[in-house]
């Protein structure tokens, strides 16, 4: 079995519940969240127009982009507005009060790179449809 490499990114105590951090690991910029005591790592760059997802808010496990409010499931990166624009998530492990992130691409069913227009079958939340962009001059 191949050894999987995790990279230490920060101490657990430095990311309190409800907080997020944007960190650089190698050439990647990652948004790290402590949501209800669990840590999540997701690519910081919104696949819509590049806003920093680490500055977004979370509602019921859904990360909401601070710019046009596209939504991404925190666990999988799945984007209900456009599954083709789902974003990458990174597996995390906690050891000795420190957070480690695995940078290699995870194999998450329904996440980025899966078949277009196919939805994961394990959805357990409702997502309100965005009716219009916050800035009426911008298109979604
Ligand atoms: S930049 Fe994130 S939704 Fe537009």
Residue 75 belongs to domain with CATH number: 2.102.10.10
Q: Which atom of ligand 1 is nearest to the CA of 46?
A: 2
Q: Is residue 72 in some structural domain?
A: yes
Q: Is residue 81 in some structural domain?
A: yes
pLDDT tier for residue 59 given thresholds of 50, 70 and 90: very high
Give the pLDDT score at 29.
93
Q: Which atom of ligand 1 is nearest to the CA of 69?
A: 3
Q: Is residue 114 in some structural domain?
A: no
Pocket around ligand 1 at a 6 A CB cut-off: 46, 48-51, 65, 67-68, 70
Give the pLDDT score at 119.
46
Beta bridge partners of 62: 59, 73
Q: Is residue 86 in some structural domain?
A: yes
Token duo for residue 94: 């906690």
User: Is residue 91 packed enough to be buried (19+ CB in 10 Å), middle (13-18) or exposed (0-12)?
Assistant: middle
Q: Which atom of ligand 1 is nearest to the CA of 51?
A: 1
Q: Is residue 69 in some structural domain?
A: yes
Q: Is residue 84 in some structural domain?
A: yes
Q: Note down the domain range covering 93.
A: 7-102
Q: Is residue 122 in some structural domain?
A: no
Q: Is residue 47 in some structural domain?
A: yes
Q: How far is the CA of 12 from the centre of ligand 1 (A)?
A: 28
User: Is residue 41 packed enough to be buried (19+ CB in 10 Å), middle (13-18) or exposed (0-12)?
Assistant: buried
**pLDDT average, residue stretch 117-123:** 47
Q: How far is the CA of 51 from the centre of ligand 1 (A)?
A: 6
How many domains does the chain divide into?
1
């Amino acid at each position: 079995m191949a050894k999987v490499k995790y990279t230490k990114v920060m101490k657990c105590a430095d990311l309190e519940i409800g907080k997020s951090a944007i960190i650089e690991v190698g050439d990647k910029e990652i948004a790290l969240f402590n949501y209800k005591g669990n840590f999540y790592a997701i690519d910081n760059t919104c696949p819509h127009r590049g806003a920093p997802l680490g500055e977004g808010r979370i509602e019921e496990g859904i990360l909401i982009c601070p710019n046009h409010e596209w939504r991404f499931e925190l666990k999988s990166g799945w984007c209900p507005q456009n599954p083709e624009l789902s974003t990458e998530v990174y597996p995390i492990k906690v050891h000795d009060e420190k957070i480690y992130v695995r940078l290699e691409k995870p194999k998450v069913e329904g996440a980025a790179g899966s078949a277009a227009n196919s939805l994961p079958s394990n959805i357990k939340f409702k997502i309100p449809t965005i009716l219009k962009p916050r800035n009426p001059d911008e298109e979604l």
